[in-house]
Amino acid sequence: MSRGLPEKVSPLRMYTCRTGTGQVLYLTTLDSGVFSMASGNASWKNITSSDFRKRSIYSKEKKFRKISAFSADPDRPGHLALATKHSLYRSYNSGRTWTRMSMNGLGRKAYITALSLKNGRLLAGTSFNGVYRHRNGRFHRWTQGLPGEPYSSSLVFTEEISCISQDSAGTAYAGTAFGRGAFYANHNSGPWVTAGIPLHGDSFSHVYDIIPCGNTLLCVTDSLVMSKTGKTGKWTPLDLSIFKQMVPEQTGARSLVLVDNTGALPALCIPLKSRKSLSAPAHDRRALYASVPAVRKKTGSLIKTITGSGFNAIVIDMKDDFGNIYFPTRNSTAREISAARRPLPVRAMLGRLRNAGIYTIARIVVFKDERLFRAFNSRYAISNTRTNRPWKGNPREYWVDPHSVFVHDYNISLALELEALGFDEIQFDYIRFPSDGPTHLCGYPHRKDSDTYKSEILADFLMKAAGALKIPISTDIYGFNSWYHFGNWIGQDMEEFSRIVDVICPMVYPSHFGSRFYMSGKRELRPYRIVHDGGRRSVKLIHNRIPVRPYLQAFRLRSPTWGNCYIRYQAEAAEKSGCSGYTYWNARGDYAIIRRAFRNRKGCND
């Protein structure tokens, strides 16, 4: 069933739409576009528009953006809707031509995860803003009754909408991710009401599809396919284990598609369990972060804390938040802009750490760089679109343009020097766009294509770095990227990054989340809940592809339950969530509480 598809295709989902002459199958992919196959045909037809292409300043391959949502209108043959994460398109002729839709009411930061077309009525589901109805050329939010998580006094995130559908009676159905179930609502009366789907086995189970089929409702979750008759009927699981057994595990397949050739049932896309790729030697590293002053003053103490606490790795600043460099560099740019500071004795230091059995990680801050910001008449700085001067956000934050090839090459050249010096891993931090200050005034003088997603240019940098380096690379990301797809907010798309780097490091410090986030339940268990759920969600967001190594909090900030248990709860949560190690952060390198917490693990009761 692969005739007509590219040789190296990564399918995402299959959809079916009945027509007067049979049915049409649609296949969405990760980077090859979208394809269709009508009844009676034996070959797929490419219906991808060039508008869907992935923007890249380096790659010459003809790749396309992820098709994050798709729908075919069963009442209007040939009417299609499609999303490429942050962009929407419509076709009225079976995909021969596509028209880009206005995001009016949604905004360019929205990540579209589900679409439903029925008799011309369009619904859109998103990663963190719920469901929208399209009316009179504008999207209107429709979230009352859907599950969400308060973040602050002014912000509530709605759980990711994983699928959406409509029936002929005017009822809409929405499935959600991470164990929050499925819901239904009448188009005219709302609000959303729970559909009562039993989520067996996994409390973080996704609802992958919910399909009205006459008087029957079908639902696909991580572990089950269920059906029920009418709104008051009971959900009955369907035994599809025989089909799952037909897919060899070594194929690496992510889903099983069942197609009813009679046309009586729609195609069912059933998820298969994914396996983690253990990226040795980066797997299972339990680390401490060390700033340059901490390494200069107390390398011996850090080694004792690491080995005495059962850890096996250290993260050391080699290029800090201001662009200062602390290793013996030959880089001409670093010398010209006075970024090269008094270097650490790197080779001797690495030898000492290696003798203690400690894995060494060099941290490089990339796009936050005061030295490069001020150099060359601020040629590489983000600009202010109102004043045409260099843009400034928070005090003491200086950002360079992530679109600049010069900025990319500069940081990669430093990473290559650190690899040659003997570090085991390179960790890139501040792989993002600014989040604070008047970001609506940010201008990017080195941007070649105004339609480039923020995540695409960051992926470009990481791809180039991964191609240049032989040792593992990791990247730090904001903690809330563990919860939702936020790709066009600050550019950090965990799923996309996981296809490039060896380790993802979400910063899930409990103190750094909103004042109302995860505040239900026992307050002393909040650190555990945040780290555990962040880990579980991260692993699912990246399909268990590479290790997740979260940053944990070892500093007393906005932490009323601070103490040994606060520290241990985080480590236990990371371990039980499926993460691969962790890193504790204390800016001053003061890890006395780590020594106390891991010397005696008794005394914390769940």
CATH number at residue 108: 2.130.10.10
Residues 264 and 294 in one domain: no
User: Do 124 and 134 form a contact (C-beta atoms < 8 A)?
Assistant: yes
Tell me whether residue 326 is in a domain: yes
What's at 543, amino acid-wise?
A: H
What's at 373, amino acid-wise?
A: F
Pairing of strands 121-126, 131-135: antiparallel
Point out the least confidently predicted range of 50-59, 221-230, 315-324, 488-497. Answer: 221-230
Single out the residue in 219, 243, 271 at which a domain terminates: 271
pLDDT value at residue 253: 61
Handedness of CA 577, 580, 581, 587 (dihedral sign): negative
Which of 469, 463, 535 lies closest to 504 in space, CA to CA? 535
> What is the model's pTM?
0.93
Model confidence at 483: pLDDT above 60: yes
Structural domain containing residue 101: 11-271
- Token code pair at residue 511: 């103190």
pLDDT in tens, 583-605: 999 999 999 999 999 987 665 75
Pairing of strands 503-507, 473-478: parallel
CATH number at residue 545: 3.20.20.80
User: Do 366 and 358 form a contact (C-beta atoms < 8 A)?
Assistant: no
Question: Alpha-carbon distance 94 to 117, whole Å?
Answer: 13
Residues 186 and 57 in one domain: yes
Give me the number of domains the chain comprises. Answer: 2
Residues 147 and 248 in one domain: yes
* pLDDT band of 396, cuts 50, 70, 90: confident
Model confidence at 250: pLDDT above 60: no
Residues 296 and 233 in one domain: no
- Token code pair at residue 364: 């490089």
Point out the least confidently predicted range of 8-17, 265-274, 423-432. Answer: 265-274
CA distances to 44, 279, 409, 505, 530 from 552, in Å: 48, 21, 30, 10, 11
DSSP 407-467: HHHHHHHHHHHHHHHT-SEEEEE--S---SS-GGGEE-TT-S-TT--HHHHHHHHHHHHHH
Model confidence at 453: pLDDT above 90: yes
Tell me whether residue 276 is in a domain: no
* pLDDT band of 245, cuts 50, 70, 90: low
